[in-house]
Structures are given as C-alpha cells and as structure tokens.
Amino acid sequence: MKTAKPKVLLAWSASNDEIAVFRKYLGNIAEIIVMPKTSEQFKDVVKDVDVIVGGFIPDECIKVSSRLKFIQVLSAGADRFNFELLKERGITLATVSGANASTVAEHAILLILALSRRLVFMDRALKEGKWIPYKYETMIEEVYGKNIGIVGYGNIGSEIAKRAYCLGMKIYVIKRNPLKGVKYRRLLKFVGGPESLDYVLRISDYVVLSVPLTKETVGLIGERELRLMKKTAYLINVSRGPVVDEKALYRALTEGWIAGAGLDVWWLYPPHRGAPSTLGIHKLPNVIATPHKAGWSKEARKRALILAAKNVKAFLKGKKVMNIVDYDRGY
C-alpha cells in the first residue's frame, strides 16, 4: 500500500514564484497545499497538515491540528508564538534567522547616516522651498571615528559591525556570551557581556539594538539606561519595540536626554487601529520612523524562501534543521 505524502501548508498568499520554490525542494516528498481564501477554510485545512510554513499561527489553529509537527516561519523572530503550547504538543518551530541580516544591517546604517546628516529634516525643508542657513546649529556630523554600541551580536549585529567598520566607526559590542562565536573579532574595539551594557551606553555615539525579544530583553532600555547615554547620542532600534520602555524613550527624546532616534520597530501593530506609539514618538522631529520594513527586501525574501524550503525538506527527511527555536531561551 502506498504511503500518503506529508502535507505542507503554505499559510500566506503565496505568489506562483514563491510556490515554485517549495515545489522545487519538496515536490517529490510532500503534498503542497496553498493558503485557503477564508479563515474558516484555513481552520478546516490546518486540522490535517504535518507542516505549516508562514507567519504567526494562532493558538486555536494549533490546538485543532492533530498531525502538526513542524512550523517554519518566514521571519527571523518568532516571539508571538505560545511556546508553552508548542512544547506541550511536541511541535518544532524554526525561523529563517540570518536570511535578512544584511538587509536589516543596511537599514540600521541608513538610519545612522540619515540622523547624522539630518537628511529627513533637510529634505522636507527644501521641498517646502526653505534653504537651511549656514549656522552652527544646522551643521551635520560625520560618523567616521564615532563610537557605535551594538547591543545584540547575532546575525544582524555582526553584519552591522562589518558595515560600521567600513565607515571608520569604533565598534563596541554587547553579546550574551562574549567568549563564544564572536564574528569579525578583529574589527571590534570591545566585546562584553550583559554586565558591560552600562559602559557601552556611556561611551557610544550611536546605540543600535539588535537583540531578540525575550523575557530578559523586554524593557532592557529604560529610563536608567537612557540617562546613561550621551546627550549627543542616538538610539537605533531594529530589534523589537518592547525592548525599549516607550514612556522613558518619549521623555528622553522630548527632554533632551539623547539627541534622537531611528526606529523601525514599534509597540503597536495592525490590526490595532491607531499609531505605532500611543505617545506619538513617531511624530517627533528628532525621530526617523520606518514601518518595520528593515528586513523586507527582494533579496532577503528569496533567501528566506529557499532556507524555509530546505528546512522543511530536512525535517521531513529526519535531517538537521536550521534555526530551531529554543523554547526555554525564547529564540
């Protein structure tokens, strides 16, 4: 009797090109199911699949799926999932960590340069017919020779460091385990563990957050930490919004504790109706705001799809799967 192929659900509105990637890697070993059009159809289909590829899957869908054993997300983070539920049901969760690292790193550098050159301010002024006068207070800054503190030194953090070095910046790094797996060590001026965060905050002209969102990193940067930073320093966040205390950051930006911020991640997201910051941080003149698109490039998407397809294939064949989430660690 012929054994039925495992079912793999592509749980997003996949294009024909995206579906083709999975057919290429899984065509002979799995039945590929495309995302149904309605939520009711989705709940019905999910009951009978072995693997789900896509974004966040609600608890109710996971609970009704008796065969589900593997979820492959198309993002570097998976903090929205109920890890306890997945652990209880014996479901493996994997990310595509690393696929968008270079793209996010470029965005972090973009925010640094845009802030140092006052790019948005000057662009808006000129479009309104205003020429910025040659005064001391309108001067821009070089990043050459400046100190950059990178808090979180995984795939993204290390790519930021590589690019910052090319700009002549002095690189200070905070890494969970500073004695293990330090990429580009020769480029770094300092590498320390979490206990060295205060030192890095004090010395940095630009502080870049690239940590995963875990129980330990929620509120990592609060009033105390922001007050340690130079008044001339900038905070760049390409990790997750809740890593920074929203109220403390608002005060820091409006009361002059720091010079400004470049933010790609927020505290509120759709389907929430309203602003990404209830305090209006995104509207402040010393903030450059982008809508969590740092990793959304054509190249990163292509790498993510291929990595996801290879991971699903490895799982179905009982081989090593990349980027498995450690439920106890939170990433």
Name the strands in the sheet holding 206-209, side by side, starting at the edge strand that comes first in the sequence. Answer: 190-192, 170-174, 147-151, 206-209, 234-237, 260-263, 287-289
295-322, pLDDT tens digit by residue?
Answer: 999 999 999 999 999 999 999 999 999 9
Query: For residues 222 and 206, what is the distance between their CA atoms, to the nearest angstrom?
Result: 16
What's the rounded mean pLDDT across residues 163-182? Answer: 97
65-87, pLDDT tens digit by residue?
Answer: 999 999 999 999 999 999 999 99
Q: Percent of the chain having pLDDT more than 70?
A: 99
- Residue pair 24/40 in contact (Cβ under 8 Å)? The answer is no
CA 81 to mean position of chain CA atoms: 15
CB half-sphere exposure, 134, CA atoms < 13 A: 0
CB half-sphere exposure, 120, CA atoms < 13 A: 17
Query: For residues 149 and 229, what is the distance between their CA atoms, to the nearest angstrom?
Result: 11
Query: For residues 187 and 170, what is the distance between their CA atoms, to the nearest angstrom?
Result: 8
- The DSSP letter of residue 324 is B
Lowest mean pLDDT among 102-116, 171-185, 242-256, 263-277: 263-277
Neighbours of 9 (CB within 10 A): 25
3-state SS, residue 44: helix
Threshold 0.85, pTM exceeds: yes
Give the closest residue to 36 by CA, choosing from 61, 15, 58, 9.
Answer: 9
Catalogue all structural domains in the chain, each as residue range(s) with its CATH number.
7-99+298-316 (3.40.50.720), 101-289 (3.40.50.720)
pLDDT of residue 129: 97
Instruction: Tell me the DSSP string of 144-167.
Output: TT-EEEEE--SHHHHHHHHHHHHT
3-state SS, residue 286: coil
